[in-house]
Structure 1
């Protein structure tokens, strides 16, 4: 299905629900990707700094665990600009390990920019970028099933799934892997609720612009007539569930027409569009999730304050 047709279908499906939703995977057009890069540099957004610390501090240990004496594919799901992954790429290259790099991202712009930057920074690295959603990229794994794989799923992207979705996703990934393959997954750990909330509702408004850009993308690509000024970003964290949720709130009674679906959608004043979840975990929760999906924890790597973890899962018989 063409990407624009799928986009229109998903938007129509979400806005036709009683509780309106929009899929967070559509955040990342060119503008959205640039805004997210700005978010990662915000003082409130601890996640990137923490995971960068984890990877920088433990890169040699990770490389040693990846090195099993045979050629492997390093598959980076949701690669983006691969800022953090480049720490590993440099270490793996320095150790002269035999591997290639397969970054996967829904943003074609991001993959073009990444391929160019890697060509300049690590010219001898073999790169095969894949543009598509996570599940589509698993077809690539299927075609290369017999070769060893180390899959990266960094940045706490697993937290964007509801629990049933995370189980389906990880079970699907596991079905394409063989004994000896590995999965390195970033997870944001539970912590002070105020710290979490500020990370998703920064004082400078970059996160708000990132959320609102989803409406601008609908206007641009699907012929929508959203008045973006009549919506605002709203974020809330539930410490009982460990879930950060983001919304777009309609500031007035209004109708929005989208040419791509040839439909008009009504919004009541203060009605919410749910745009994103971000789950926070404990390590026992992650261990149980891995076991449900056929993975065993091989090693847990933390930052110095144990705010974030990169969990290396092994695939056994």
Structure 2
């Protein structure tokens, strides 16, 4: 709670104002994001699901795993695991010896995933890990077992390039040579495809963004009036970064009781809440060039909207 308070105070004191996207994910936020992933406009889920469901054997072949040696399949930000289940099923069918370690900051998401997997894949060895990615990886690095890390759903796209470079570098420091990283990324494409994914007709994405203000109200005693804020996404193909903002409709003042702070908003003032970086080979190679990983292969969906890149630790 103290870290939440510090992050919110810092973000709303910034010029321009910001709010960390990691705080989208409370119980209500988790549910809304599941709805987002089911939206017809949100092509990312369907595109990556196509890769995992229709190119599963090809994916396993690219991973070049040894059936005789036990390995750990570690998924960072596992969520509901809907795509990964397709891979897990095929790995079991082909007789691979492995454990599945889903990692997530949300205990609620992990509990739901473990319950689902117990029903769908009762023989699977599942070891849920709640917490910070690098703390979890550091804790299991010493097992010396081969590791395949999944970082799917273009979650890395929530980082600007410098932060993504640091993230991939730190991943390399927490795994061993020849360990693998399967990185799911959204590819650069026209705004006519991208923008509707962040501004659906049903208003689910808007509700997801506004829920962050609602959470601040509930947990920190703020008085944000959600009716006086709107959701605004922005994207150009040239920049390749989708951005989400909450925009104050009027001049207003918000009090956060637990901080004893008052924050003023001008009419039209933006709060930057999230980015979603889009990639191509050149952008990704630039990000990994000073890390311990090298790019080996990639698989894309039939429309070329999404790619899963295989990186190997040097």
TM superposition score normalised by structure 1? 0.95
Distance 1:170 1:260 in 2: 36
Number of paired residues?
A: 312
Following the alignment from structure 1 to structure 2, what is the Cα–Cα distance between the partners of residues 234 and 224?
Answer: 22
Q: Is structure 2 residue 27 aligned with structure 1 residue 30?
A: yes
Residue 181 (1) aligns with residue 179 (2): yes
Query: Partner residue of 2:7?
Result: 10
Could you say which residue in structure 2 is the equivalent of 1:113? 112
How far the C-alpha of 1:143 sits from its partner, in A, is 4.5
Structure 2, unmatched stretches of 5+, are: none
- Aligned ranges 1:227-266 → 2 under 5 Å: 227-266=225-264
2:75 alignment counterpart:
76
Change over 3 Å in CA distance of 1:285–1:19 after alignment to 2: same
Distance in structure 1 (CA, Å) of the matches to 2:127 and 2:262: 41
Distance 1:66 1:137 in 2: 25
Residue range with higher mean Cα deviation, 69-78 or 179-188: 69-78
Query: What is the Cα deviation at residue 310 of structure 1?
Result: 0.3
SS of alignment partner, residue 114 of structure 1: helix
Task: Give the Cα separation in 1 of the matches to 2:29 and 2:172.
Answer: 30
* 8 A contact 1:59–1:91 mirrored in 2: yes
Distance 2:165 2:301 in 1: 26
Which whole-Å CA distance do the structure 1 matches of 2:115 and 2:222 have between them? 33
Q: Could you say what secondary structure the match of 1:264 adopts?
A: strand
User: What stretches of structure 1 of length at least 5 have no aligned partner?
Assistant: none
- Alpha-carbon contact 1:66-1:150 (below 8 Å) kept: no
Tell me which residue corresponds to 1:269. 267
Distance 2:271 2:256 in 1: 16
Say yes or no: does 1:44 pair with 2:63: no
- In the TM superposition, what whole-angstrom CA distance separates every residue of 1:29-67 from its partner, at most 9, and x where no partner exists? 111111111111111111000000111122112223252
1:19 to 11, 16, 26: 16
Flag the 1:204–1:151 CA change in 2: closer, same or farther, 3 A.
Answer: same
Across the aligned residues of Structure 1 and Structure 2, the Cα RMSD in angstroms comes to 1.4
